[in-house]
Structure 1
Amino acid sequence: KKNKKDNAPKETNYQPVNWKKIFLSPKYIPWHILFIAIGVATVIITIKHDQVVAALRPWSMKVRDLPAGWLIPIAILIVISFPPLFGHEIVALLCGVVYGLWIGFAIVAAGTFIGEIGTWFAFKYALRRKGANLERTNLNYGALARLTRDGGFWIVLIIRFSAIPAHFSTAVFSTCDVNFWFFVIATLLSLPKQIFLVYLGVLLVQERKDSSTQTIMFVTVFVVTIVMAGWIWFKMNKIKKVLLEEQAAREAAKEKEQE
């Protein structure tokens, strides 16, 4: 049986990021505009989430009254699972507002899980060549790929619980041959963190606002995800040094052969 490590790239070309080229090249301007728009929208939604939820609540109540209306938020969550789309947080909050804690959580968990599976297959089969090229040329991508290959299930699970964006980690998992069932189990086990957003939606419609509960939840989830992301980043930095050393050794060997 072929070892997963055999799928790691034999040749790499990690180069320092040319930020001047990225920021000044005309072909990247549409991407800059898109990312700025997404960033601004994310900040507004984060700061004004109460108002956003209040504005969308009437529409959400109409959706709830439709036959099988609960399928609509599931479908929306599946669609926005594919980068660069966003809005997962608002949908989860609305599910808490409209459906309550447990039904809302079930809807969010179903949409999130199916969306992640869809993203996995999209990257594995439609974007595999792009992923392989990123692993050869992007040091961060290559380091995370090496970490997941060497670390197995527990690393995959920690990454799923961390603050590392799910879109990025799913792309890495699918293109560097992480066991599909490891990915499925880790994704299922990390779904309970979605209940945090749903519960915030529930709190938004309570007559008595418990700000201390919201604060404790925010702080707890924030600390756990950031600590896990920090640990992953620490491990990745160590692997980056190894990858650069391996690349330098290959280049030195080639030069020696040509002499």
Structure 2
Amino acid sequence: MAAKGIRSPVPFIKRYAGIAFRRYTALHIMGKIFIWLVILFYICAGVFVVIVTPSRIAQYLYDHARMLAETWFGWLALAGAIVLMSFPPLIGHTTLVTLCGFAYGMKGFCIASSASVAGASLVFVVLRLLFSGRLRQWSSHNDKWQALESVVRAKGLPLIILIRISPFPPWVYSNSLFASIEAVALWQFVTATLFVLPKLLLHVFIGSRIAALSDGDQRGHMDTQTKLINGLLIAGGIVLVVFTSWSVYNMVQKHIRHLEGIPPEVDELAAEAIEDYGEEEPLLLAASPRASLERV
């Protein structure tokens, strides 16, 4: 199978939009109602922001973030939430990391980094212990997954690091992805996770700058230039996250598809296994005896 080049964002967006639509159509009527209730909630939230005004909401959030930071258990509550959000299918890890910066400033990086590494490691151990047997049964009938495991086994830690720093799959599913690959040892996973810390530092920094602009007292002591610089730092940080994430993802996909000493067809299947992880989550599928039988 011919190796594919770097893809533009448009096909990628269409692909995952298609996945989301297929999942929606497969839902039971109650599931579809829940989705529309969530959409309605966000519409109401948007209207609420417009009516109350962003500045008043920002001040309210800042005041409560300061209250959290001033309590002795505040850091523990944030750390515990980050650990919890490391388990699939929960989402919100990035938001909580940003909240660390919002509440604690750059000191929040210590909370975000230690809790993220601890949470990812806990997910890896728990999922590996719970589903390792069923995972082996499932993967033995999946060509893509066998290809991914053989590639990771052959290339080791450098490839594991590259896949780990890629933004796709997202944090929570990346944790389960590596727990699903038997060739990955715990120490390799933890080492690779440490390479994600610079991205977490950037999210904490963005949170700290948002906090500075959210507090009316701090804003009142800022001149126009300082406000502009803070706004540009926030926007620049977001753009940097998006740009580097997309660049790293393309780099990882291209690297996997051109590994030396690995047959091209195996490279392609391994890359597709990572791309398709949103549709096929081995540890969840492996937990279902029915799903395992369907792949025999």
Measure, in 1, the Cα distance between the counterparts of 2:190 and 2:157: 10
TM-score by length of 2: 0.61
1:121 aligns with 125
Alignment of 1:83-122 (within 5 A): 83-101=88-106, 103-122=107-126
Deviation at 1:107, TM superposition (A): 0.7
Q: Which stretches in structure 2 are left out of the alignment for 5+ residues? A: 1-18, 213-218, 220-225, 258-263, 271-296
Deviation at 1:59, TM superposition (A): 3.1
Q: Please say which of residues 75-84 and 58-67 is displaced more in the overlay.
A: 58-67
**Quick check: 1:231 aligned with 2:251?**
yes
Measure, in 1, the Cα distance between the counterparts of 2:147 and 2:77: 38
1:214 aligns with 234
2:155 aligns with 151
User: Given the alignment, which residue of 205, 209, 224 partners 1:199?
Assistant: 205
8 Å contact kept, 1:148–1:173: no
2:284 aligns with none
Alignment partner of 1:83: what SS? Answer: coil
C-alpha spacing 1:32/1:133, structure 2 compared with 1 (3 Å): farther
Measure, in 1, the Cα distance between the counterparts of 2:96 and 2:26: 36
Deviation at 1:182, TM superposition (A): 1.2
8 Å contact kept, 1:134–1:141: no
C-alpha spacing 1:182/1:67, structure 2 compared with 1 (3 Å): same
1:5 aligns with none
Alignment of 1:166-177 (within 5 A): 166-177=171-182
Opposite residue 132 of structure 1, the aligned amino acid is R
8 Å contact kept, 1:119–1:171: yes
2:185 aligns with 179
TM-score by length of 1: 0.68
Alignment partner of 2:74: what SS? Answer: coil
Deviation at 1:131, TM superposition (A): 3.4
Alignment partner of 2:195: what SS? Answer: helix
8 Å contact kept, 2:68–2:103: no
1:256 aligns with none
C-alpha spacing 1:28/1:173, structure 2 compared with 1 (3 Å): farther
Measure, in 1, the Cα distance between the counterparts of 2:103 and 2:25: 46
Deviation at 1:140, TM superposition (A): 5.7
Deviation at 1:227, TM superposition (A): 1.9
2:12 aligns with none
Measure, in 2, the Cα distance between the counterparts of 1:195 and 1:19: 30
8 Å contact kept, 1:149–1:176: no
RMSD of equivalent CA atoms? 3.8
Opposite residue 174 of structure 1, the aligned amino acid is A
Q: Which stretches in structure 1 are left out of the alignment for 5+ residues? A: 1-17, 244-259
Query: Aligned pairs, how many?
Result: 220
